[in-house]
Amino acid sequence: MSSGPLSQKLFATAKQYIPGGVNSPVRAFRNVGGEPFFVRRAKGSRIHDVDGRVMIDYVGTWGPAILGHAPQVVLEAIHDAAKEGISFGIPNPYEVDMARTICEWVPSVEKVRMVSSGTEATMSAIRLARGYTGRDLIVKFEGCYHGHVDSLLVAAGSGALTHGNPDSAGVPRGFADLTVVLPFNDPAALEELFEKRGGEIAALIVEPYPANAGLILPKPGFLQLLRDITAKHGTVLIFDEVMTGFRLAKGGVQELEGITPDLTCMGKVIGGGLPVGAFGGRAEIMNMLAPDGPVYQAGTLSGNPVAMAAGLAQLREMDKQKGYDKLEENGQLFEEVVLETLTKKGLGYRWYRKGSMFCLFFTEREVHDLHDAKTADLAAFRKFFHYCLEHGVYFAPSQFETGFMSLAHSPDDILQTAEMAAAALASL
């Protein structure tokens, strides 16, 4: 599907003033070819582009739109809060209410601090872990993305025990030297590293369900191993639940898996579609933050009243509607029709889903880590993506992203999507 004439005009203008014409790289369609379309409005499960085309959307603002786009309850909360003031830079009641809600819902969180993005949350959690432990080394996993923080924008080194390499120009070599990158779902590599360097490691940060390389699920026992080995060596275990938090369950992956990390990074759903992030955890660690402790962290827009009001409205509506149960029902229906379609077409492509998050990998290899994910047939994915887009369904413009369903997606939406996807697969 080529973008419409107005989108083409907007993109041409955008490239004059914005690097690449976009404010986040994946939006540029470089992974799938062609040019991006521009959205005029979104409501429920649909997005409407500037050229008048309507699509069923499975990106959902990359996760926050769990009720669907522009839900009335969130719009009303934004309106009511904004009438009293857009921003104060002074404490407001909404941020206290949000903090209480997070601490009540998330098993590991005793205290929490609000920030303005997921990247800011992970950056702050890493600094806090270093300040708490007095150590410098950080461990992350291949395929886990934690925002564009210098210390975390690091690719794997040449072996499990080597330091990482900068994954972007502008990241100093010295920052990468303080980060070790391991393969996900590899207990042996993890145990070898901690045996040799456990006393140097300030924090291990992980997406418990990696959702930035498609959707990769942990093998049984792997998350528990992370908990056990970090506890043994006095390392802070950080769960990055910016994607999964409040989307898969009230308490996120840690509720589903029964694992209690030391710190948790959050975002997406708790902003109701507005910019937001948060990090929280054990009070002993969180009390190291200024003004109580020596670890400095600050933000003018942290706890913004409009964002807090929007997020609280969304969380309460999810709870009121028993939304996670309904999303699981939708997810099961989607899974059934996808697997039936793959069987009918004789395709062994790998499908993974947890609740309302999903990914279809265009590979017949089981996907347990980034190496497995990279065996996907990207040419086939591109054809599939453009066929779907041409026929009114929008999936993320990259094989290495996760799809999201919302409460606004009806069974008819899902069945319509399945019919179209079947035709797309048949066209490959």
Q: Is the pLDDT of residue 216 over 80?
A: yes
**What is residue 161's predicted lDDT score, i.e. its pLDDT?**
46
Name residue 43's amino acid: K
- Catalytic residue numbers read 145, 240, 268
Residue 160's pLDDT band (boundaries 50, 70, 90)? very low
Report the percent of the chain where pLDDT is more than 90: 90
Q: Which pLDDT tens digit goes with each residue over 59-111? A: 999 999 999 999 999 999 999 999 999 999 999 999 999 999 999 999 999 99
Contacts of 48 (CB under 8 A, 6+ apart): 39, 40, 41, 42, 54
In this structure, are strands 179-182 and 137-141 parallel, antiparallel, or unpaired?
Answer: parallel
CA–CA gap between residue 193 and residue 189 (Å, rounded):
6
Class of domain 5-70+322-426: alpha beta
Q: Which of 282-291, 309-318, 337-346 has the lowest mean pLDDT?
A: 337-346
* Cβ burial, residue 367 (10 Å; 0-12/13-18/19+): buried
CA–CA gap between residue 326 and residue 374 (Å, rounded):
32
Beta-strand runs (E) in 53-157: 54-57, 111-115, 137-141, 154-155
Parse the chain into domains and list their residue ranges.
5-70+322-426, 72-319
Instruction: Provide mean pLDDT across the span 10-18.
Output: 97
CATH number assigned to the domain with residue range 72-319, chosen from the 4 options 1.20.1090.10, 1.10.760.10, 3.40.640.10, 3.30.2010.20: 3.40.640.10
Name the DSSP class of 111: E
- Is residue 290 a contact partner of residue 113, using CB atoms and an 8 Å limit? no
